[in-house]
C-alpha cells in the first residue's frame, strides 16, 4: 500500500468512490435513477466545495495497492492537530485491513509530530466508527448525524493525565 497525490485524472475514481455509497442511501429514499444520480452529483460538488473551503491546504491523496487505485484520503496538517477530513475505500477493497494500514500510517505521522488526530464520522457508518474505536479514537462529541472523535499519541495522553 502506498499513497500518491491525487491528480485531475483521478476525478472519476474520486467521484465513484463517493457515489457508490450515496447511491445506496439515496435509493432508499424513493427517487428515480436520474433524480438520484443528480442528487449524488450535487452532494459530491457541495462536499468538495465545503472541504476545499474549510481545508484549502489539505493533502488529497490516492490510496494505491500496487498500482491500482484503492481509495481516497484527504488530510489537513494543522499547527496543533491533524484532521482526517475524508477517507473512502473502493467497495472491493473494504474489510481486508487496508483502512487499518492507512489509519495506522496516519497515527505514526501524528505521533512523530506529537499532534492529535481529529475526525468526524457519519453515525450511520458503523464499520468506520468501529475501526476508529479499535485504534484508540475517543468520542469528543456525539451529535445527531456525526460524531467527532480524537486520537492522541501516547505522549499526549500521558501528559493529559
Task: Tell me what pLDDT residue 23 has.
Answer: 81
- pTM comes to 0.88
All cell numbers assigned to 78: 494543522
Nearest to 130 by CA among 149, 152, 116, 107: 149
Confidence at residue 156, expressed as pLDDT on a 0 to 100 scale:
52
**What pLDDT score was predicted for residue 149?**
97
Whichever domain contains 134, its CATH number is 3.40.630.30
Percent of the chain with pLDDT over 70: 96
Coil/strand/helix, residue 138? strand
Q: What is the dihedral of CA 68, 134, 117, 98, to 10 degrees?
A: 0
Average pLDDT, the chain: 91
Nine-digit cell string for 89: 475505500
Q: What is the pLDDT of residues 74-117, one digit of tens each?
A: 999 999 999 999 999 998 998 889 999 999 999 999 999 999 99
- As for how many domains the chain has, the answer is 1
pLDDT range class, residue 124, cuts 50, 70, 90: confident
Above 60 in pLDDT, residue 158?
A: no
Pairing mode, strands 138-142 and 146-151: antiparallel
Q: Determine the average pLDDT of the residues in 17-38.
A: 83
Cα 144 to Cα 122: distance, rounded to the nearest angstrom: 9
For range 66-71, the mean pLDDT: 94
Of residues 139 and 67, more confidence is placed in 139
Report the distance separating Cα 15 and Cα 92, nearest Å. Answer: 16
Locate 28 and state its grid cell. Answer: 432508499
Q: In what order do the strands lie in the sheet with 117-122?
A: 2-5, 59-65, 68-77, 82-89, 117-122, 146-151, 138-142
When pLDDT is averaged across residues 40-64 and rounded to a whole number, the result is 95
Write out the three cell numbers for 99.
Answer: 483502512
Rg (CA), the chain: 16
Q: What is the C-alpha end-to-end distance of the chain, expressed in Å?
A: 36
What domain range is 137 assigned to?
2-160
**C-beta of residue 52 within 8 angstroms of C-beta of residue 66:** no
Amino acid at each position: 500500500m502506498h499513497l500518491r497525490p491525487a491528480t485531475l485524472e483521478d476525478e472519476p475514481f474520486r467521484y465513484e468512490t463517493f457515489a457508490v455509497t450515496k447511491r445506496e442511501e439515496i435509493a432508499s429514499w424513493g427517487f428515480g435513477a436520474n433524480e438520484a444520480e443528480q442528487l449524488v452529483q450535487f452532494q459530491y460538488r457541495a462536499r468538495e466545495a465545503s472541504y476545499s473551503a474549510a481545508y484549502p491546504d489539505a493533502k488529497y491523496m490516492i490510496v494505491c495497492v500496487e498500482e491500482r487505485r484503492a481509495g481516497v484520503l484527504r488530510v489537513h496538517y494543522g499547527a496543533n492537530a491533524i484532521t482526517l477530513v475524508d477517507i473512502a475505500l473502493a467497495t472491493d477493497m473494504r474489510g481486508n485491513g487496508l483502512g487499518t494500514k492507512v489509519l495506522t500510517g496516519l497515527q505514526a505521522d501524528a505521533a512523530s509530530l506529537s499532534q492529535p488526530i481529529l475526525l468526524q464520522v457519519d453515525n450511520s457508518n458503523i464499520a468506520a466508527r468501529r475501526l476508529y474505536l479499535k485504534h484508540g479514537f475517543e468520542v469528543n462529541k456525539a451529535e445527531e448525524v456525526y460524531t467527532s472523535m480524537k486520537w492522541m499519541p501516547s505522549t499526549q495522553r500521558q501528559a493529559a493525565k
